[in-house]
Amino acid sequence: MAIVEVRKLRKYFDAGGVHAVDGVDVATEEGEYLVLLGPSGCGKTTLLRTIAGLEVPTEGEVLIGGHVVNGLPPRARRIAMVFQSYALYPHKSVLANIVFPLKAERIGKAERERKAGWAADLLGIGHLFDRKPRQLSGGERQRVALARALVREPSVFLLDEPLSNLDAKLRASARDELKSFQQRIGTTTIYVTHDQVEAMGLGDRIAVMYEGRVRQIGKPVEVYDDPADTFVATFLGSPPMNLVPRDGRLIGFRPEHLLPEEIVSGDDRITLPFHVHRLEHLSGDRHLYGVVKGLGEETRIIARLPATVSVPITPDQTYTFAVHGYHLRFFDAKSGERTDPVRVGG
């Protein structure tokens, strides 16, 4: 049984003028980490808030634990939510913040403190109990917010961009902590982010959203390798997938799959002349900006050479690069949807 399921969910704002969520069907699997990924305004947060009960859907159903919860207020849904701002109560101490949901459930003081202690141990924040939120760092605040969510022992965690307020360095370690934390407690989690790195790193599955719809849902590697349409293909990956127009189709390949011909072996390789305009060194990799001919129309593309490839490249030169046929993806130029592969000459 799915812990959380939404069926044909629609949420319109401004009397139907804005379709924030426009027909979404998603079901989580037991204990899974589902990431809702998409650019700003794609409806991912609205979807999460509708599941939480903070928004009333215009159409469709939200099910939690197999029951339709459309009419239930947030507190009756057995969910816990961590907000982007963490939404800690600034006038309460860390301990009072953590036990607040338990007080609301009228749980006795001893039991409240036992649970708060357990959650704090799990997150390593026991020494902060007497502090006020303003005396905490971003990472500590995030852990307090998680502890507050955890003590209720919810059937699902809803996390709304919980890492976006952290600086880049802290974000990487907090991401790692979040993942191991979820694996330890095993609670189904829905996580909203616009950051593909977080999505790829954290998610058991990723639902890529755009304009209120789920474009693709699948394991990170599936969404990355086999994008369902050009939006997914270009939203995921840094740099994004290259798309070369040819006869009403777009031929896509990842920047890391276009390599100098001498290191691409095999029968199905396709060689292309690549005129390099510019070159960037990023984290040891080399990003080459230039133009390819031969695959389809002349197109500006990016190739990414890993640090292990030491072939010398200088700007304003043309080199022969190659890509494996099995790395090519084909899309309809009009709709952007995936199509069957076609033969492209080698």
Partner 1 sequence: MAQATLERADVETGRRARPRFADRDGLLAWVFLLPSVVYIIALVAVPFFLAIAFSFSDVTTGNPSFNWAGLRNYQRIFGDPVFWQSLKNTLVYTGIAMALIVVLGKVLANILVANFRGKWIVRFLVLLPWTTPVALSAIAWLWLLDSIFSPIDWVLREFGFIQGNMYWLGKPNLAMASVIAVYTWRTLPLAAVIIMAGLVAIPKDIVEAAAVDGAGFWRRMFEVTIPFTLPVIAVAALFGAVITFTDMTVVYLLTGGGPTHSTQVLASWAFIKGIEGGDLAQGAAVALFLFPLLLAAVIAILTAVRRMEVS
Produce one character per residue of 135-146: b if its CB has 16 or more CB atoms within 10 Å, e if not.
Answer: ebeebbbbbbbb
Q: Which of 10, 44, 141, 148 binds partner 1 (CB under 8 A)?
A: 148
Q: Which of 58, 84, 165, 339 binds partner 1 (CB under 8 A)?
A: 84
Per the structure block, which two tokens stand in for 229? 């349409």
Query: Judged by CB under 8 A, does residue 85 bind partner 1?
Result: yes
Touching partner 1, residues 102-121 (CB under 8 A): 103-105
Touching partner 1, residues 151-170 (CB under 8 A): 152
| Sequential DSSP letters for 159-220 | EESTTTTS-HHHHHHHHHHHHHHHHHH--EEEEEES-HHHHHHH-SEEEEEETTEEEEEE-H
Query: Judged by CB under 8 A, does residue 91 bind partner 1?
Result: yes
**Pairing mode of beta strands 249-253, 259-260:** unpaired
Q: Which of 18, 27, 54, 172 binds partner 1 (CB under 8 A)?
A: 54
Per the structure block, which two tokens stand in for 160? 């709304």
Distance CA 6, CA 21 (A): 11
Residues in binding contact with partner 1, number by CB under 8 A: 27
Phi, psi of 332 (to 5 degrees): -75, 130
Q: How many Cα atoms are found within 13 Å in the side-chain-facing hemisphere of 229? A: 14
Q: Name the segment binding partner 1 (CB under 8 A); options: 84-92, 277-285, 312-320, 338-346.
A: 84-92
> What is the nearest approach in angstroms of partner 1 to the Cβ of residue 119?
14
| Closest CB to partner 1 among residues 81, 241 | 81
Distances 38 to 1, 118, 128, 344 between C-alpha atoms, Å: 26, 35, 35, 32
Query: Judged by CB under 8 A, does residue 75 bind partner 1?
Result: yes
Question: Can you name the residues that pair with 67 across neighbouring β-strands?
Answer: 64
| Closest CB to partner 1 among residues 101, 139 | 101
Using a 10 angstrom Cβ sphere, with 0-12 exposed, 13-18 middle and 19 or more buried, the burial of residue 134 is exposed
Touching partner 1, residues 124-143 (CB under 8 A): 132, 134
| Closest CB to partner 1 among residues 91, 109 | 91
Q: Which of 83, 118, 289, 330 binds partner 1 (CB under 8 A)?
A: 83
Query: Judged by CB under 8 A, does residue 59 bind partner 1?
Result: no
Q: Name the segment binding partner 1 (CB under 8 A); options: 89-97, 110-118, 177-185, 337-345.
A: 89-97
Per the structure block, which two tokens stand in for 199? 């999505």
| CB neighbourhood size of 248 (10 A) | 9
> What is the nearest approach in angstroms of partner 1 to the Cβ of residue 113?
17
| Closest CB to partner 1 among residues 89, 326 | 89
Q: Which of 48, 79, 120, 272 binds partner 1 (CB under 8 A)?
A: 79
Site residues, partner 1 (CB under 8 A): 52-54, 73-75, 79-81, 83-85, 87-92, 100-101, 103-105, 132, 134, 148, 152
